[in-house]
Amino acid sequence: MRHVVTRIQRLRKATWHWQAVLGDRRTPASQTRLRRTSPAYRQWVLGVWKHRAAMVWIRARRPPHKRQWLCIHRYEGAWNDPDAPYYGGLQMDLGFQQAYGSYLLRTKGTADRWSPLEQMWVAERAHATRGFYPWPNTARMCGLI
């Protein structure tokens, strides 16, 4: 049954990661699953975390302005562009990454190490207050400003 606990931990970690990226509150978890040895209980907990992980992943795959970010990306750099001072597919500088993606900057490094979805969600956070103006030229080319 140790493999069930390992799967629970992996699903919980993935769920918490995407909740942090999306800006959602972290789902609380108890350590009961480690103390209880009932196989039925552990299977139930596994099912709960599978559901939570699936729900957060469904939401993560659909950034509200995904089509617009893909257009901006087309005129910017590669998703894994490591060239300073702008990183990643949406060309984020370090100040931008710190302001809108501090969790990812802290856990994964600069934006060139983030997945395209993670980069889009950080851009969504900026879009909430600044619109598409951090990308003035490419946003104009895409007809967004």
pLDDT tens-digit readout, 81-138: 999 999 999 999 999 999 999 999 999 999 999 999 999 999 999 999 999 999 999 9
Cα 142 from Cα 145, distance rounded (Å): 8
* Domain limits, the chain: 2-60, 66-141
Query: By three-state DSSP, how is residue 87 classified?
Result: strand
Environment class of 106 (CB within 10 Å of its CB; exposed 0-12, middle 13-18, buried 19+): exposed
Query: 15-73 pLDDT, tens per residue?
Result: 999 999 999 999 988 776 566 778 898 899 999 999 999 999 999 999 999 999 999 99
Q: Quote the distance between the C-alpha of residue 95 and its chain's center.
A: 18
* pLDDT at residue number 95: 97
Q: Provide the pLDDT for residue 2.
A: 84
Predicted model pTM: 0.90
Architecture field, domain 66-141:
Orthogonal Bundle (1.10)
